[in-house]
Structure 1
């Protein structure tokens, strides 16, 4: 199948390399040094899925009409990247592989003739060098759209993607997006202090802050009437219980995620953006919790403070001491 991948960073590079290895005709879009590296040497993938050197077509926009499109840009770049490729995409299926809650709606608005769906990936991959991706934690990815059951097209696309990496079509995709948002609360604190996710969760003081941001996210989801989808052992019942627990007990949740990651340092996507000198997705992660809280007349002080601190790190281009997190985040 002819597959176009918009955005060849950590996840886009992973999917591009693995789909190419599976025999698909892959074209990617990239920018700057990343584009230059892919044109010169291809995408170098290592880690949990093995060693792959994928020689794929690459440009700043798609050059040939695809049969399937994966949008793998950062959330803040999605609208412009989709718009610049909209004419070529036309009516083909579009899979948005993105953090946050708004990606599928953004794609559907800009691509009214296309069939848009979302993919939630728990794969952990480090992309700190142009054209080079290392997968630190493999995982199943979850495909769907809306609140209903998985439809026939989602099931078909999941089967195509599963030729490269495990993908399951799921019902209740919106609820699963919220569960992934809870998982993404692992991102902010490591980016602020410049340490791996594992190091942060191992630190009792910082683990408490991460737990508070997760619990606040779940509580806002409950206030929104969300039924959380099942991802990586997390589901509605477990998260609702977690929302009622005191922080000292609730810390078992980030700890269990840390154990699943293993020993290879996981920087998290937010910190990787900081290290590359690029804007982060914090406004679509912690910032999304703040906006969703406001929509139901509530506050999200933990995630608001973390959003501010991540933006400070972006501006400084340097990490902050753990004491700033402990002082500024109301836990």
Structure 2
């Protein structure tokens, strides 16, 4: 099958390389040094799912019409990427693999003639050097749309992807998006401190802050009427427990999340963007919680503060020590 992958970074690069490995004809989009490296030496994958060099077609935009496409850009780049490739995406199934809550809705608006579905990648991968992607934690990818049963297009796309990496079509995809947003609560602290996600969740100084942001985020979702989906060992019951428990008890969930990440240091996608000198997705992660709270007439001060700290690091290029993070966040805890 001809498959297009728009945005061959950590997540998209993994999808592209694994689909190439099982025999699909894959074309990717990339830019700059990453594009040059893929053209010269192929897209190199290593880590949890093994090593493979994918000799794929690559350009800044898709050059041929695919039969199935994956949009894997950062959330802030999705609109421009979809518009640039819209002519080749009309009338096919387009899978939006993105963090946050807005990607699938945006794609559906921009591609009215296409079957747009969402995907949540729960594996962890790093793209820190041109042409190379490393899988640090293997896990499932979930596909669907809306809050009911998955559409047939999601079932079909999951079957194709499952031949390359564990993938499933799920009910209540909207609720699963919200659960993934809770999983992404681990992203801000590595971006602020420069430490791995495992280090921040293991820190007695930082873990209470991550727990506070998680509790706040879950409560925002509950106030918005969300029924959380079941992914990554989290579900509606567990997340409601987090929201209602004292913080010292609720910390058990971040600790379990840390255990599920395994031993390989996971920098998180937000820290990876900062290390490459690129804008991060923080406004679509913790910032999305703030926006949803405001839409419901409330606020989310812990998530707002963490969003601000990430922007401080982006602006200054200097990470903040755990002790200083605790000092700045203490008035909100």
SS state at 1:112 partner = coil
Residues in 1 aligned to 2:89 and 2:201: alpha-carbon distance in whole angstroms: 42
Q: State the partner residue of 1:119.
A: 119
Question: Displacement of 1:130 after TM fit?
Answer: 1.1
Residues in 1 aligned to 2:118 and 2:9: alpha-carbon distance in whole angstroms: 18
Q: Deviations over 1:42-91 (max 9, x none)?
A: 11111110011111000000000000010000000000000000011111
Residues in 1 aligned to 2:247 and 2:2: alpha-carbon distance in whole angstroms: 48
Q: Which runs of 5+ in 1 are unaligned?
A: none
Q: Deviations over 1:238-294 (max 9, x none)?
A: 111110011111111111011111111100000000000000000000000000000
Structure-to-structure mapping, 1:15-164, within 5 angstroms = 15-164=15-164
Residues in 2 aligned to 1:15 and 1:280: alpha-carbon distance in whole angstroms: 21
Question: Displacement of 1:322 after TM fit?
Answer: 1.6
The answer on 1:212 being equivalent to 2:216 is no
Question: Displacement of 1:200 after TM fit?
Answer: 0.7
Residues in 2 aligned to 1:325 and 1:222: alpha-carbon distance in whole angstroms: 28
Residues in 2 aligned to 1:37 and 1:209: alpha-carbon distance in whole angstroms: 39
RMSD of equivalent CA atoms: 0.7
The answer on 1:313 being equivalent to 2:310 is no
SS state at 1:205 partner = coil
Question: Displacement of 1:151 after TM fit?
Answer: 2.0
The answer on 1:328 being equivalent to 2:320 is no
Question: Displacement of 1:323 after TM fit?
Answer: 2.5
Structure-to-structure mapping, 1:259-298, within 5 angstroms = 259-298=259-298
SS state at 1:117 partner = strand
The answer on 1:224 being equivalent to 2:224 is yes
Residues in 2 aligned to 1:77 and 1:151: alpha-carbon distance in whole angstroms: 26
SS state at 1:204 partner = coil
Q: Deviations over 1:82-119 (max 9, x none)?
A: 00000111111000000000000111111110100000
Question: Displacement of 1:320 after TM fit?
Answer: 1.3
Q: Taking structure 1 as the reference length, what is the TM-score of the superposition?
A: 0.99
Residues in 2 aligned to 1:199 and 1:18: alpha-carbon distance in whole angstroms: 29
Q: State the partner residue of 1:241.
A: 241
Residues in 2 aligned to 1:97 and 1:151: alpha-carbon distance in whole angstroms: 16
Question: Displacement of 1:198 after TM fit?
Answer: 0.8
Residues in 1 aligned to 2:259 and 2:268: alpha-carbon distance in whole angstroms: 15
Residues in 1 aligned to 2:310 and 2:130: alpha-carbon distance in whole angstroms: 23
Q: Taking structure 2 as the reference length, what is the TM-score of the superposition?
A: 0.98
SS state at 2:205 partner = helix
SS state at 1:231 partner = coil
Residues in 2 aligned to 1:258 and 1:268: alpha-carbon distance in whole angstroms: 12
Residues in 2 aligned to 1:328 and 1:2: alpha-carbon distance in whole angstroms: 51
SS state at 1:283 partner = helix
Residues in 2 aligned to 1:324 and 1:146: alpha-carbon distance in whole angstroms: 41
Residues in 2 aligned to 1:215 and 1:316: alpha-carbon distance in whole angstroms: 29
Question: Displacement of 1:15 after TM fit?
Answer: 0.3
Residues in 2 aligned to 1:303 and 1:328: alpha-carbon distance in whole angstroms: 13
Q: Which runs of 5+ in 2 are unaligned?
A: none
Q: State the partner residue of 2:165.
A: 165
